[in-house]
Amino acid sequence: MDNPGRRIITGALLIIFVSLVVYFAPSWLFCLVIAAFVCLGQFEFFKMVENRGIFVYKYFGTVVGTLIPVVIYLGSGLPDLKNLEPFLIVVASLFALTLQFARKDKAHDHLISTALTVFSLFYISWFFSFFIKLKFLENGSNLVAFLILVTKSADMGAYFIGRSFGKSELIPRISPKKTKEGTIGGIVMSLFVAIVIGPFLTGFSFMHLFILGLVLATLGQVGDLAESLIKRDCSVKDSGTYLGGIGGILDLIDSLLFTVPIFYFYVKAF
């Protein structure tokens, strides 16, 4: 059952934890936290896929996925390792296919199994690892904080406004509880937060903050819907149970998976 009280308490504790890691933890610890989130998110994804009846090498996929943020971190400080990240992804993708040779059953899901393993490396591990790239930019800590606040304010706005005023279903076949009113409320909340805190954290102009508020809110909610689509296809309600009122790690980071790489490239471009 949905429990707003537990969600608020869990959210408050997560805000404190994330603030400490972003602003006070050394860079190596920030990397380990990102790697831990990736590790748990990858494993949750593979467990959901298994619930669908599809065989996956979940331990291989989880280990490789966890290595990607570590390799990115090492590459940021050691120029010789800068290109190791795409190399690791390519090798892992090839290995994911050749692992299928070791199966002894007469399965007919080799292609699906391989594709889902490779997909998880991009969707969860690589996308979320852009937090490390973002953190190493000039003013990186503030950029990370801005991204999280703007993205998650859309989540919170959509949840609470949709809960209070939502009447029109958004896409009921994917997520019956999401409403059009909640979606609009989330975008408005995200715009407000971007414009109010943006000048202090980023120094971006009003135009850039307005664009980012719209883009990050939209992408965040698309990311949320994407994970809802995966969960519905795998017949599970939540990706995990560790976070009271929220679900699992993948439920927590789903909106960030789409926003962090786009935000990184936006900052690099403009």
Question: Tell me, what's the pLDDT at 65?
Answer: 94
CB atoms under 10 Å from CB of 120, counted, come to: 25
Question: Tell me, what's the pLDDT at 80?
Answer: 67
Question: Tell me, what's the pLDDT at 81?
Answer: 67
Helical pair 27-51 and 58-77, crossing angle rounded to 10 deg: 160
258 CA to centre of own chain: 7
Question: Tell me, what's the pLDDT at 3?
Answer: 63
For residue 202, the enclosing domain spans 4-269
Partners of residue 20 on adjacent β-strands: none
| Predicted confidence (pLDDT) at residue 2 exceeds the cutoff of 60 | no
Instruction: Encode pLDDT of 30-41 as tens digits.
Output: 999 999 999 999
Instruction: Encode pLDDT of 154-185 as tens digits.
Output: 988 888 888 788 778 888 888 877 888 889 99
pTM of the model: 0.92
Angstrom distance (rounded) from CA 244 to CA 154: 20
| Predicted confidence (pLDDT) at residue 126 exceeds the cutoff of 90 | yes
Instruction: Encode pLDDT of 70-79 as tens digits.
Output: 999 988 767 6
CB atoms under 10 Å from CB of 248, counted, come to: 24
pLDDT band at 263 (very low <50, low <70, confident <90, very high): very high
Question: Tell me, what's the pLDDT at 138?
Answer: 92
Question: Tell me, what's the pLDDT at 223?
Answer: 92
Question: Tell me, what's the pLDDT at 165?
Answer: 82
Q: Which residue has the higher pLDDT, 47 or 83?
A: 47
Tokens 């990186």, residue? Answer: 140
Question: Tell me, what's the pLDDT at 1?
Answer: 45
**Average pLDDT over the chain, rounded to whole?**
89
Total domain count, the chain: 1
